[in-house]
Amino acid sequence: MYIDVEKGVRINVHDINPGSGSRPVVFVHGWPLNHRMFEYQFNVLPAYGFRCIGIDLRGFGESDKPWHGYTYDRLGDDVAAVAEALDLQDAALVGFSIGGPISLRYLARHPAHQGSRIRKLVLIDPAAPAFARRPDNPYGMPVEQIDDLIRQTAADRPKMLQDLSLQFFNRNVGPGLLNWFVSMGMQAASYATIQFLVALRDEDVTNDLRAIRVPTSILHGVHDKVVAYPIAQRLQQGLPGSTLQPLYNSGHGSVVDEMDAVNAALLSALR
């Protein structure tokens, strides 16, 4: 289905197992992917009574691809618009990688949704509170490296995605999974892929953390080469009452690297 989030912009939403009695879970994907990255969660959670709602963020997957709107503020407002359009109540929110800061910004900008529309938050390998390296975030990705990804995307996006796929997982995945990753990335608009990198480089949700009032669980691969594990430790320290579960056999792609452990942790956190 498609949901209008602003004039001229529709967001694609994949809704699995809707109906009375199913507990809604909203999934916000990472860069440069789309809702299909949660395939191995969508295979499992509905059997336990969960309604899985996968959002394609603007510019990605089957959503509209406007030139504008790739800030955390606008992307967070898009998630809010989906929650309101579906009239979600007592839903859980799962944010992966950049989906983490987008989810945090959404809740900070829409505090009335906390405890009503959204009751729990799960962050998987989140690029939060900041992605880029800076004095208060020494384990972040160097700005020069992010700028190089921007240049690679502008010059040869398929090669950038192929190279990134080799860093994403912590196990020897076959060509099928690597091609799956690249094909999702190629469904995005190139300019959206670049603008998400700009947001990752320039934005910071540290000040949003104090506004989060829902129970929060963080899952993070200790071998993550994209968002280093110490960033998750810093995030947990900034979210009083949150929990951090290390995934000892995962890189950044923990939803595939340790799909069984991630699914078990999700089932535990979402109950």
Q: Which residues pair with 91 in a beta bridge?
A: 118
Rounded CA separation 268/3 (Å): 30
Choose the catalytic residue: 35, 63, 77, 97.
97
pLDDT in tens, 99-117: 999 999 999 999 999 999 9
Establish whether 56 is a catalytic residue.
no
Do the Cβ atoms of 103 and 93 come closer than 8 Å? yes
Under DSSP, is residue 134 helix (H, G, I), strand (E, B) or coil? strand
Establish whether 110 is a catalytic residue.
no
59: left (phi over 0), alpha (psi -120 to 50) or beta: left
* pTM confidence score: 0.97
**Both tokens assigned to 142:** 């160097």
**Pairing outcome for strands 91-96 and 243-247:** unpaired
Establish whether 250 is a catalytic residue.
no
pLDDT in tens, 36-64: 999 999 999 999 999 999 999 999 999 99
The CATH code of domain 2-270 reads 3.40.50.1820
Rounded CA separation 140/134 (Å): 7
Choose the catalytic residue: 56, 224, 250, 257.
224
In this predicted structure, what is the pLDDT of residue 170? 87
Domain boundaries, the chain: 2-270
Do the Cβ atoms of 169 and 251 come closer than 8 Å? yes
Rounded CA separation 238/212 (Å): 10
Q: What is the pLDDT along the chain (271 residues), one digit of tens a residue?
A: 999 999 999 999 999 988 777 899 999 999 999 999 999 999 999 999 999 999 999 999 999 999 999 999 999 999 999 999 999 999 999 999 999 999 999 999 999 999 999 999 999 999 999 999 999 999 999 999 999 999 999 999 999 999 999 999 987 788 999 999 999 999 999 999 999 999 999 999 999 999 999 999 999 999 999 999 999 999 999 998 999 999 999 999 999 999 999 999 999 999 8
